[in-house]
Chain A
Amino acid sequence: MMKDSEILLFAKNKKLPMVQRHFLILFLSSLLGACGSENPEQKTSLLNAPYPTQTGGTLMGAMPSDPSSLIFMVAGESASSAITANLFNSLLTYDQNLDLAGELAESWQVSPDQKTLTFHLKPGLVWADGHPLTSEDVFFTWQAIIDEKTRSPYASDYQLVTKAETPDKLTFVVHYDEAFSPSLDSWAGLQILPKHKLAGQDLHTTSFAQKPLGSHYYQLKEWRHGEYIKLEKNPKSVLGPANIDHLVERIIPDPGAQFLELMADNIDSLSMDPITYARIIPSRPELQAWLNQYESLGNSYTYLGFNLKRQPFKDIRIRKAINLAIDKQEIIDGVYLGLGEQIASPYKPGTRWSNPELKPYPFDPQQARSLLAEAGYKDSDGDGILEKDGKKLSFEVLTNHGNKEREKTAVIIQRRLKEVGIEIRIRTIEWASFITRFIKTGDFDAVVLGWQLGLEPDQFGIWHSSQQKPGQFNFIGYNNPKVDQLLERGRREFDPDKRMHIYHQFAEVLYEDSPIVYLSAGYNLTAIHKRVRGIMDPVPPAGVGYDSQKWYLPMPLRRTQIQAE
């Protein structure tokens, strides 16, 4: 009986259960409506043939968790932004080189006193339902995020606005008490919501969060909680229509299951870990035949951070010695299989904010040893660990449990530091406990954690000496008046070139102070089916997903199963 149902199901899907492993034959033969007569080489050539741009088709993807809400300002998690980035527009955006550009705004001006920003909206903008999108909507969205009742973790930047105005339907003006240049980034991050749908509603309970209406390339078609989200092309998109008709994101938490779905050709695009990317796929030629692999520098880096309020980390020689004793390339090779980069400043290499003069600290155990000796540490009892005044150079490194990369990184560091006579103990702790019990209270020696390689250069919250209260982000206790002053200047400067100069200086001071050890910045790794065309090559700094509205699926390569819908 089971047998019958199988056959029925497959007949319906026009998918023929066929011989082992030849997925290629499997889907191509079903596409052609005939089976088995051609050899794999011909299929490969069909896959590699050029095709003109065309519209239609369905692109399948997978993500690990379900968004909690499709209003990003209250959801705040990455699963939500992955979907809402296709649904909503912001005033500004980042272009392929990660510079600010207009999205809903055609242009923007900073007043001479730098306290007022004026945005000019593009004319003729509409929501997906045809309702005009005006400065009223922008004003409404700003009001919504600063509203007392809205529990947005990101409200603080918008609360700095003292007054907002809409002189006409295409102009939106905001006033600040003092010049605040990160505000431009904040307007690139605020997704504009439709006033005509949301006025008078509570953003936390509104059903709009489940059934949103946006203005971007796609709109929500169906959302089966915990299973999949189906998006449909928005023909009225404010930036012109996309090529692909439907985007489907399946929610598959387990990376193993995600990869099996990719192998069975049920999904087209998948981000993956280094092992899958650099070992498993290359070992399977049949997979390589129909997958393209893309790598680009991700948006975060891993670091070893010291508690600067504790000994021995108050001594810059110790910090520098540890920095020199760690082989960062070894970490990148061992943990990321070489799929990452060393960095010398908290900015993405290659972008304007990254200081090209700075080179990552070299791996130089000899110099590390002499620095430690200079600081007065020597191994007097012969156990291989240095001490000073009877105190061993030994400390605890904490990281969050479940992050394999950080755990492995810590182990590699442990070995290298032992070679120069420093003993470290590694401890992994579940995230919420880690934050509450250790980071907030400042009760730690050193941590392996990550920060963003921000598109906005302002890192006031992480490095300014005023940001050390419990729950704030300068928990390592970094305090350098020179950095404080540079960070304050950077926040007031709107001119990109002058800002660049400020942040290059800032990175230089950080480099000299070595309050943290930059360990690695990993690549984002993606495999995409060869049926997906129009992907920017080489991958721009903004990542493989940039300009994905230009991606297209040539008719002969589409999945029939999905087309039948």
Chain B
Amino acid sequence: MLRYLIKRLFWMVPMLIGISLISFFIMHLAPGDITSTEATFDPKSSEESRQKLRELYHLDKPVIVQYGLWVERMVHLDFGHSFASHQKPVFWAEKDKDGNVTPGMIQEALPITLMMNIAGLVLTLTLGVPLGVWAAKRYAQWPDRTITLFNFIGFSIPGFWLSLLLMYWLGVIHPWFPISGLHSLNYEQLNAWQKCQDLFMHLFLPVVIPSITGLAGITLFIKNGMLDVLSQDYVTTARAKGLSDRAVTYRHALRNALLPLITIVGLSLPGLIGGSVIAETIFAIPGMGKLFYEAVMMRDFPVVMGILTIGSALTLLGNLLADLAYAWADPRLRKGVMPDR
């Protein structure tokens, strides 16, 4: 087991180098750099100062040299400084000589996005699994039909449209929830309990809406898995043994139906740090999606590369974790993966 793990971790290194190399070149394929997005069209700015900037950021050098410089920094886990945000550190916080701390850009955005996405994933799973089981058990009857109908409505509604509608309905007509933002203006003055409440109220809509639209996938997955399993011989055997319906459904059937879910959750791990540009823009939440989108539009290469590197590292790690969890959950696979044991 340990050997397998070390082998997998070791293989991640060349994979990461490959991914970063491809990302770096693709990023540079897009025309323009920071000097063509920033203050370009102000006649008060001059081409000389733009050229100076290009030299300072090494943008005048060949791409392969720039990549080399980037790798050199990454070896020390130095993600560098943003171009567009005037030397704000990309990842790690920095302290100046007076002891003032400038937080890293990813460091600021990542916890927000993680919190939102984990809450969303948990919500989707807690709703999707029971709904899927229910739909499978009452297959082709009204619960199944209703769940399927609502799932598809949720799936087809554009998220941004539903967001604006609910913001209007629950924020303006009935002002129950804040419309946008992450913290109230008086957040610092609140006590711990009120801070939690404040965050809960602000995150309610941005977490619930994507979960509604994402519910369809999980529910269908569970439903189909359950339908497959429920017709298996061992389920019939379990029933024949006289086990209660509950025990058959949850202990015998659901366990097996959950297996594919591991893959889905594993694959959604990198998505956890991705964030959604649309949701974050509409709800004015400073998360990873917006950070990445703006960095791409500004050709802010260090930030783009920082996010891509962390994203790909997490994807590889997510795959590994999913495989391990699979092996743990499914004895057939465990034997397949480690034939030497």
Complex interface: stretch among B13-21, B43-51, B142-150, B329-337: B43-51
Of residues 466 through 484 on chain A, the ones whose CB sits less than 8 Å from some CB of chain B are: 469-473
Complex interface: stretch among B67-75, B184-192, B317-325: B184-192
Interface string of B6-39 (1 = CB under 8 A from A): 0000000000000000000000001111001111
Q: Give complex CA distance A432, B100 in Å.
A: 35
A17/B32 in contact, CB under 8 A: no
Asked whether A153 and B197 contact (CB < 8 A) given A227-B286, A260-B172, the answer is no
B43/A461 in contact, CB under 8 A: yes
Partner of B86, one of A204, A248, A436: A204
B281/A253 in contact, CB under 8 A: yes
A425: min CB distance to chain B, Å: 20
Which of chain A's residues have a CB closer than 8 A to the CB of B179?
257, 260-261, 264, 266
B85/A207 in contact, CB under 8 A: no
B223 within 8 A of A: no
B171/A260 in contact, CB under 8 A: yes
Partner of A151, one of B52, B167, B185: B52
Q: Give complex CA distance A565, B183 in Å.
A: 14
A264/B108 in contact, CB under 8 A: no
A68/B86 in contact, CB under 8 A: yes
B169: min CB distance to chain A, Å: 10
B123: min CB distance to chain A, Å: 14
Which of chain A's residues have a CB closer than 8 A to the CB of B233?
none
Of residues 1 through 39 on chain A, the ones whose CB sits less than 8 Å from some CB of chain B are: 5-6, 8-9, 12, 15, 17, 20-21, 23, 26
Asked whether A21 and B173 contact (CB < 8 A) given A5-B197, A205-B87, A226-B290, the answer is yes
B130: min CB distance to chain A, Å: 19
Interface size class of B (residues with CB under 8 A): 35 or more
Q: Give complex CA distance A235, B45 in Å.
A: 35
A413: min CB distance to chain B, Å: 21
A76/B197 in contact, CB under 8 A: no
Q: Give complex CA distance A207, B172 in Å.
A: 38
B126 within 8 A of A: no
Partner of A17, one of B40, B46, B51, B174: B174
Of residues 202 through 239 on chain A, the ones whose CB sits less than 8 Å from some CB of chain B are: 204-207, 209-211, 222, 224-228, 230
Of residues 245 through 273 on chain A, the ones whose CB sits less than 8 Å from some CB of chain B are: 248, 250-254, 256-257, 260-261, 263-264, 266
Which of chain A's residues have a CB closer than 8 A to the CB of B52?
151
Asked whether A257 and B172 contact (CB < 8 A) given A68-B84, A250-B181, the answer is no
A433 within 8 A of B: yes
A106 within 8 A of B: no
A224/B47 in contact, CB under 8 A: no
Partner of A69, one of B86, B164, B197, B297: B86
Complex interface: stretch among A42-50, A130-138, A154-162, A377-385: A154-162
A316 within 8 A of B: no
A77 within 8 A of B: yes
Of residues 56 through 109 on chain B, the ones whose CB sits less than 8 Å from some CB of chain A are: 56, 81, 84-88, 94, 96, 98, 100-103, 108-109
Which of chain B's residues have a CB closer than 8 A to the CB of A75?
86
B328 within 8 A of A: no
Which of chain B's residues have a CB closer than 8 A to the CB of A257?
164, 167, 179-180, 282-284
A478: min CB distance to chain B, Å: 13
A505 within 8 A of B: no
Interface centre among A250, A264, A440 (most CB of B within 10 A): A264
Partner of B185, one of A21, A68, A562: A562
Asked whether A226 and B286 contact (CB < 8 A) given A253-B281, A432-B30, A433-B30, the answer is yes
A227/B36 in contact, CB under 8 A: no
Q: Give complex CA distance A6, B197 in Å.
A: 9
B201 within 8 A of A: yes
Which of chain A's residues have a CB closer than 8 A to the CB of B31?
432-433, 436-437
Asked whether A565 and B186 contact (CB < 8 A) given A153-B49, A257-B284, the answer is yes
Which of chain A's residues have a CB closer than 8 A to the CB of B194?
12
B86/A253 in contact, CB under 8 A: no
A358 within 8 A of B: no
Of residues 89 through 129 on chain A, the ones whose CB sits less than 8 Å from some CB of chain B are: none
B42 within 8 A of A: yes
Closest to A400 in B: B41
Q: Give complex CA distance A386, B29 in Å.
A: 39
B38/A76 in contact, CB under 8 A: yes
Which of chain A's residues have a CB closer than 8 A to the CB of B87?
204-205
A254/B32 in contact, CB under 8 A: no
A5/B200 in contact, CB under 8 A: yes
Which of chain B's residues have a CB closer than 8 A to the CB of A227?
181-183, 284, 286
B39/A459 in contact, CB under 8 A: no
B125: min CB distance to chain A, Å: 20
A66 within 8 A of B: yes
A225/B108 in contact, CB under 8 A: yes
Asked whether A473 and B49 contact (CB < 8 A) given A260-B172, A432-B30, the answer is no
Which of chain A's residues have a CB closer than 8 A to the CB of B100?
207, 210-211
Q: Give complex CA distance A202, B102 in Å.
A: 14
A515: min CB distance to chain B, Å: 16
A9: min CB distance to chain B, Å: 6
Which of chain B's residues have a CB closer than 8 A to the CB of A470?
47
A432/B49 in contact, CB under 8 A: no
Q: Give complex CA distance A156, B88 in Å.
A: 25
Interface string of A544-565 (1 = CB under 8 A from B): 0000000000000000001011
Partner of A256, one of B56, B182, B282: B282
Which of chain A's residues have a CB closer than 8 A to the CB of B285?
226
Which of chain B's residues have a CB closer than 8 A to the CB of A452?
42-43
Which of chain A's residues have a CB closer than 8 A to the CB of B32?
431-433, 435-437
B176/A471 in contact, CB under 8 A: no
Q: Give complex CA distance A151, B82 in Å.
A: 13
A539 within 8 A of B: no
Closest to B86 in A: A69
A32: min CB distance to chain B, Å: 18
Which of chain A's residues have a CB closer than 8 A to the CB of B297?
431-432
Q: Give complex CA distance A77, B189 in Å.
A: 32
Q: Give complex CA distance A22, B94 in Å.
A: 49
Asked whether A435 and B183 contact (CB < 8 A) given A257-B282, A260-B164, the answer is no
Which of chain B's residues have a CB closer than 8 A to the CB of A248?
185
Closest to A207 in B: B100
B173/A253 in contact, CB under 8 A: no
Q: Give complex CA distance A66, B36 in Å.
A: 20
B40/A77 in contact, CB under 8 A: no
B284/A17 in contact, CB under 8 A: no
A335: min CB distance to chain B, Å: 20
Q: A435-B36, A436-B32 are in contact. List 19 more A-B contacts (CB 8 A).
A: A65-B294, A74-B86, A151-B52, A153-B46, A155-B49, A156-B44, A156-B49, A201-B96, A204-B86, A207-B100, A210-B102, A253-B281, A256-B282, A257-B167, A257-B284, A260-B180, A263-B168, A432-B32, A462-B43
Q: List 9 A-B contacts (CB under 8 A).
A: A153-B53, A154-B39, A205-B102, A230-B185, A252-B180, A253-B290, A257-B164, A471-B50, A473-B43
Pairs A-B, 10 closest by C-beta atoms? A226-B286, A432-B32, A207-B100, A153-B45, A461-B43, A471-B47, A156-B46, A436-B32, A204-B87, A153-B39
